[in-house]
């Protein structure tokens, strides 16, 4: 198909498609004339992937670049692709990293993970550091009522992560698995967060307004 058809099929505006081509996010089409190139279904799939990462996953173009570069590299072990996807969604560090309160928070998270038998790569682990950022911030706001939720989150993510990794590993070819890791990490996070809010709204409606569906929602 031509670039205008690629734009129409993907829903991505033509100037944006051209921008992705210039930035190297989207590989060039096959040149058929001086000013014309032909794009295939693999371009459409790639464009949909970029669109999902940018629009739903809210990644910057630079982050999409890093994630796609990792997933395009056939020699990179799967865990490193996962690492690149994780880095993209955990980009920003709180500036109090390394302070005593932050170190305490990191030690607490690490300890709770180890007690559950989790295998944590302690060095430069973006997820561990982001967890420490959040725990340190909760502690700094002085709301002890929220501390038990740390364990609630640990409890919730354990079976979830297992199902996620198993789903992605079931995808067959290495290529598919890598795409699954990227999509699953970024879009899964967005969906999980949205459903959490939806469930919170339901529970708070029930508890605050004594809604009729209360019995049906009992956990």
Q: Which of residues 178-207 bind its own copies (CB under 8 A)?
A: 179-180, 183-185, 187-207
The residue within the footprint of its own copies, chosen from 30, 162, 174, 175 (CB under 8 A), is 162
Nearest-approach distance from CB 35 to its own copies, in angstroms: 28
Q: Least distance in Å: CB of 37 to its own copies? A: 23
15 vs 95, which CB is nearer to its own copies?
95
User: Could you say whether residue 103 binds its own copies (CB under 8 A)?
Assistant: no
Q: Would you say 3 or 134 has its CB closer to its own copies? A: 134
Nearer to its own copies, 21 or 168 (CB): 168
Candidate ranges 21-29, 31-39, 66-74, 158-166; the one touching its own copies (CB under 8 A): 158-166
Query: What DSSP string runs through the chain?
Result: --HHHHHHHHT--HHHHHHHHHTTSS---EEEETTEEE--HHHHHHHHHHHIIIIIS---HHHHHHHHHHHH-TTS-HHHHHHHHHHHHT-PPPTTTTSHHHHHHHHHHHHHHHHTT-----TT-HHHHHHHHHHHHHHHTT-GGGTHHHHHHHHHHHHHHHHHHHHHHTT-SHHHHHHHHHHHHHHHHHHHHHHHHHHHHHHHHHHHH--GGGGGG--
Q: In Å, how far from its chain's centre is CA 119?
A: 20
Nearer to its own copies by Cβ, of 38 and 87: the residue is 87
Residues of span 71-90 touching its own copies by CB under 8 A: 78-79, 82, 86, 89-90
Tell me: does residue 9 bind its own copies (CB under 8 A). Answer: no
Q: With binding defined as CB under 8 A, does residue 149 bind its own copies?
A: yes
Q: Which is nearer to its own copies, 35 or 141 (CB)?
A: 141
Interface positions, 18-77, toward its own copies (CB under 8 A): 45, 48-49, 51-52, 55-56, 58
Query: Hey, how many other C-beta atoms are within 10 angstroms of the C-beta on 82?
Result: 19
């Amino acid at each position: 198909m031509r670039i205008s058809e690629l734009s129409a099929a993907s829903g991505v505006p033509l100037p944006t498609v051209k921008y992705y081509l210039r930035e190297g996010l989207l590989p060039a089409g096959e040149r058929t004339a001086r000013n014309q190139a032909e794009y295939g279904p693999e371009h459409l799939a790639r464009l949909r992937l970029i669109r999902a990462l940018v629009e739903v996953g809210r990644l910057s173009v630079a982050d999409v670049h890093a994630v796609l570069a990792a997933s395009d590299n056939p020699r990179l072990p799967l865990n490193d692709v996962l690492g690149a996807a994780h880095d993209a969604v955990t980009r920003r560090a709180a500036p109090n990293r390394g302070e005593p309160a932050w170190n305490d928070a990191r030690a607490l998270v690490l300890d709770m993970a180890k007690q559950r038998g989790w295998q944590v790569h302690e060095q430069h682990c973006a997820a561990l550091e982001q967890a420490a950022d959040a725990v340190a911030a909760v502690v700094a706001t002085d709301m002890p009522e929220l501390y038990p939720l740390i364990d609630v989150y640990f409890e919730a993510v354990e079976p979830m992560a297992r199902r996620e990794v198993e789903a992605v590993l079931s995808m067959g070819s290495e290529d598919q698995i890598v795409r699954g890791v990227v999509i699953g990490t970024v879009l899964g996070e967005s969906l999980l967060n949205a459903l959490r809010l939806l469930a919170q709204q339901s529970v708070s409606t029930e508890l605050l307004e004594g809604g009729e569906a209360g019995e049906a929602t009992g956990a």
